[in-house]
Amino acid sequence: GNESTVSITVVGASGDLAKKKIFPALFALFYEGFLPKHFTVYGYARSKMTDAELRIMVSKTLTCRIDQRENCGEKMEQFLGRCFYHSGQYDSEKNFAELDKKLKEHEVGRVSNRLFYLSIPPNIFIDAVKCASLSASSGNGWTRVIVEKPFGRDSESSAALTKALKQYLEEDQIFRIDHYLGKELVENLSVLRFSNLIFEPLWSRQYIRNVQLIFSEDFGTEGRGGYFDNYGIIRDIMQNHLLQILALFAMETPVSLDAEDIRNEKVKVLRSMRPVKLDDVVVGQYKSHTRGGINYPSYTDDETVPKGSLTPTFAAAALFIDNARWDGVPFLMKAGKALHTKGAEIRVQFRHVPGNLYNRNFGTDLDRATNELVIRVQPDEAIYLKINNKVPGLGMKLDRSNLNLHYAARYSKEIPDAYERLLLDAIEGERRLFIRSDELDAAWSLFTPFLKELEEKKIIPEYYPYGSRGPVGAHYLAARYKVRWGDVG
Ligand code: BG6
Query: What is the pLDDT averaged over residues 55-65?
Result: 88
For residues 196-218, b (16+ Cβ closer than 10 Å) or e, as one string?
A: eeeeeebbeeeebbbbbbbbbbe
What is the 3-state composition of the chain as percent helix, strand, coil, each rounded to the nearest 5?
A: 40, 25, 40
Cα–Cα nearest to 27, from 434, 425, 424: 424
Does residue 241 have an active-site annotation? yes
Residue 1 has pLDDT above 70, yes or no: no
* Nearest alpha carbon to residue 437 among 132, 159, 143: 159
> Given a cut of 80, is residue 6 above it in pLDDT?
yes
Ligand 1 lined by 148 (C-beta under 6 Å): no
Compare 111 and 368 and report the one with higher pLDDT.
111
Mean pLDDT within 205-215: 98
Active site residue: 38, 86, 179, 241, which one? 241
> Which atom of ligand 1 has the smallest separation from the CA of 224?
8
241 CA from centroid of ligand 1 (Å): 9
- Burial tier of 136 (Cβ tally within 10 Å: 0-12, 13-18, 19+): buried
pLDDT over 70 at 364, yes or no = no
The pLDDT, as a whole number, for residue 487 is 83
pTM: 0.96
Instruction: Judge if the beta carbon of residue 236 lies within 6 A of ligand 1.
Output: yes
Residue to mutate, 187, 236, 422, ligand 1, most ligand atoms under 8 Å from C-beta: 236
Percent of the chain with pLDDT over 70: 97
Share of the chain above pLDDT 90, in %: 83
Q: Which of the four pLDDT bands, split at 50, 70 and 90, describes residue 355?
A: confident
pLDDT band at 136 (very low <50, low <70, confident <90, very high): low
Where would I find the H helices in 114-224?
125-136, 155-168, 184-194
DSSP three-state, residue 348: strand
Residue type (1 letter), 147: V
Mean pLDDT check: name the lowest of 208-212, 288-292, 356-360. Answer: 356-360
Mean of the pLDDT values across residues 84-103? 95
* Residues 219 and 337 sit within 8 Å (Cβ to Cβ): yes
- Give the tens place of pLDDT for each residue, 384-404: 999 999 999 998 888 889 999
Task: Please tell me the distance from the alpha carbon of residue 122 to that of residue 139, in angstroms, as a whole number.
Answer: 26
pLDDT, residue 375, reads: 98
Cβ contacts of residue 277 below 8 Å, gap of 6+?
450
pLDDT of 481 higher than 60: yes
Confidence of residue 281 (pLDDT cuts 50, 70, 90): very high
Q: Out of 141-145, 179-183, 221-225, pick the least confident.
A: 221-225
pLDDT of residue 377: 98
Confidence grade of residue 414 (pLDDT, cut at 50, 70, 90): confident
Does residue 417's CB lie within 6 angstroms of at least one atom of ligand 1? no
The chain-wide mean pLDDT, for the chain, equals 94
C-alpha 46 – ligand 1 centre gap (Å): 25
- Residue 137, pLDDT above cutoff 70: no
Round to whole Å and give the CA distance between 241 and 237: 5
Identify the pLDDT of residue 447. Answer: 98
Task: Give the pLDDT confidence score for residue 133 in this predicted structure.
Answer: 81
Report CA(309)–ligand 1 centroid distance (Å). Answer: 21
pLDDT at 287 over 70: yes
For the ranges 110-124, 171-185, 320-334, the lowest mean pLDDT is seen at: 110-124
**Rounded to an integer, what distance in angstroms lies between the CA atom of residue 428 and that of residue 285?**
41
User: pLDDT at residue 65 above 80?
Assistant: no
pLDDT in tens, 315-330: 999 999 999 999 999 9
